[in-house]
Structure 1
Amino acid sequence: MTKIGELGEEVVALWLTQQHYRILYHRWHCRWGEIDLIALDEKINQLVFIEVKTRQPKNWDHDGLDMVNVGKQKKINITAQVFLSQHPPWQNYSCRFDLILVTYISRKNNYLQDTFKVLNHDQIMDKNHVFTIKKHLKNII
């Protein structure tokens, strides 16, 4: 069974492709950490390291924002440096670190199988949840 955080990352990947991003890696990891998504913002030709936080509404940590503290930011930065050292073709691109906050509500949609359906600009549904892109914060580090 897929975890809700992984579903949130898949929803964000779909949403980003609609915003002219090309998803390069999903859950890229090394011994120092993991980056949820690595994408190319094709509008400005910029490499983007993306942290995704998926929460239910009315959560205690401001939709996951509180979890991206200085320690987490350093870990993402080090992991991105390792990525760039292992992937020389991407070293010449300018880089950005984004945070995307997603909320979801559980609900049964019997007519959907294991696919996503875009409801509007920032809402995507699967057979058990409705996901909402709450915030896309650019350049968090």
Structure 2
Amino acid sequence: MSEEMTRHRRSLGEEGEEIAADYVRSLDWIVVERNWRCPAGELDLIAYDQAEACVVAVEVKTRTTAYFGRPVEAVKQAKIDRLHRLVRMYLSQQRLFARQVRVDLIGIVLVDGSVVDLEHLRDIA
């Protein structure tokens, strides 16, 4: 993959994560952390859903077209399993306890910088 293509994908991902962060804030969630990394992987967003008293790890997938399928379809079971492990690692590393923890997925389609679709799947397993 060319360096230019890598920069474009990174920029698209960052834009999608910003949109997702704004979206979860509109739900009255608190964005606790963004782009948390450890040797085992990365969590795009970690939020706190106040209404459900739940820590939520949010995976964000951003595309410029749905031609090859919805962005959420790009997340396979192995990735979902890794996200569940990562959120437990995050809580342990931060010495936090949460009664409820879940993993959500937000798929975004951007065309010319405008959101044409935002899909939020809650509690993916």
Q: What's the TM-score, normalizing by structure 1?
A: 0.76
User: What's 2:70 paired with?
Assistant: 63
Larger Rg: 1
Say whether the 8 Å CA contact 2:110–2:116 is kept in structure 1.
yes
Give distance in 2, aligned partners of 1:25 and 1:88: 15
Judged with a 3 Å threshold, the aligned counterparts in structure 2 of structure 1 residues 132 and 22 are, in CA distance, closer, same or farther, namely: farther
Preserved CA contact (<8 Å) 1:4 1:54: yes
Asked if 1 retains the 8 angstrom alpha-carbon contact of 2:54 and 2:101, the reply is: yes
Is 1:131 aligned with 2:94? no
Quick check: 1:92 aligned with 2:71? no
Instruction: Judge conservation of contact 1:29–1:79 (CA < 8 Å) in 2.
Output: no
Gap regions ≥5 residues in structure 1: 107-128
8 Å contact kept, 1:32–1:78 = no
1:109 matched to which residue of 2? none
Counterpart residue identity of residue 84, structure 1: L
C-alpha contact (below 8 Å) 2:72/2:106 kept by paired residues:
no
Q: How many residues align?
A: 117
Cα RMSD (Å) of the superposition? 1.6
Runs of 4+ in 1 over 4 A off after TM superposition: none
Q: Name 1:35's counterpart in structure 2.
A: 43
Deviation at 1:17, TM superposition (A): 0.6
What's 1:52 paired with? 60
List runs of 5+ in structure 2 lacking aligned partners: 1-6
TM-aligned CA distance change 1:68 to 1:76, over 3 Å: same
Q: 1:75 aligns with which of 77, 82, 99?
A: 82
Q: Distance in 2 between matches of 1:71 and 1:12?
A: 22
Identify the structure with the greater helix proportion. 2
- TM-score w.r.t. the length of structure 2 is 0.85
User: Residues 55-110 of structure 1, C-alpha deviation per residue, up to 9 Å, x if partnerless?
Assistant: 123331x2222221111112112211210111223x2331011001101111xxxx
Query: What SS is found at the alignment partner of 2:70?
Result: helix
Give the partner amino acid of 1:131: V
Q: Which of 94, 97, 111 pairs up with 1:105?
A: 111
Q: Is the 8 A contact 1:53 1:63 kept in 2?
A: no
Contact 1:98–1:140 under 8 Å retained in 2: yes
